[in-house]
């Protein structure tokens, strides 16, 4: 069942309308003002990709950026963390921010692994 997006020509609000459901079998109307003068919008599509394809894209050297720039590396690491989801850990993004704020580590010494 498709979801269409409309813009109300009276108040300008953009809203979604689920088509094909018995409960919503009527014509769409603006939820803000009740207007019926609508323009159907062109919606963005979702591209579904496998986890392997996502990881392959993220490990592509052209996607990583300048490896000597800590901020570029942090952006890449956050993107990787979002892709990994729960596997990266709940505080992954916050830990990256903390590392950028204090690259010397909590005690003033460079972090060593």
Asked whether the CA dihedral 88, 64, 75, 83 is positive or negative, the reply is: negative
Tell me, what's the pLDDT at 106?
A: 60
Tell me, what's the pLDDT at 37?
A: 96
Tell me, what's the pLDDT at 10?
A: 95
Query: What pLDDT, in 10s, does the model give residues 55-110?
Result: 787 778 777 778 788 778 777 887 777 777 766 777 777 777 777 777 666 655 55
Tell me, what's the pLDDT at 75?
A: 79
Domain boundaries, the chain: 3-40, 51-101
**For range 39-67, the mean pLDDT:** 78
Query: What pLDDT, in 10s, does the model give residues 10-35?
Result: 999 999 888 776 655 678 899 999 99
Tell me, what's the pLDDT at 83?
A: 73
Q: CB neighbours of 35 closer than 8 A, spacing ≥ 6?
A: 8, 9, 10, 11, 29
Whether the pLDDT of residue 48 is over 90: the answer is no
- Distance in angstroms (rounded) separating the CA atoms of residues 73 and 67: 6
DSSP for 24-40 reads G-S----TTT----EEE
| HEC assignment per residue over 41-103 | CCCCCCCCCCHHHHHHHHCCHHHHCCCCCHHHHHHHHHHHHHHHHHHHCCCHHHHHHHHHHCC
DSSP 3: E
Question: Which class for 35: exposed (0-12), middle (13-18), buried (19 or more C-beta within 10 A)?
Answer: middle
């Amino acid at each position: 069942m498709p979801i269409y997006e409309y813009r109300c020509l009276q108040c300008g609000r953009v809203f979604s309308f689920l088509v094909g459901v018995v409960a919503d079998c009527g014509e769409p109307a603006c939820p803000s003002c009740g207007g019926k003068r609508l323009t159907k919008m062109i919606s963005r599509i979702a591209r579904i990709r496998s986890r392997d394809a996502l990881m392959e894209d993220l490990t592509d050297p052209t996607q990583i950026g300048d490896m000597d720039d800590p901020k570029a590396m942090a952006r890449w690491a956050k993107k990787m963390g979002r892709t990994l989801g729960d596997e990266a850990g709940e505080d992954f993004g916050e830990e990256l921010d903390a590392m950028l704020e204090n690259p010397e580590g909590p005690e003033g010494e460079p972090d060593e692994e």
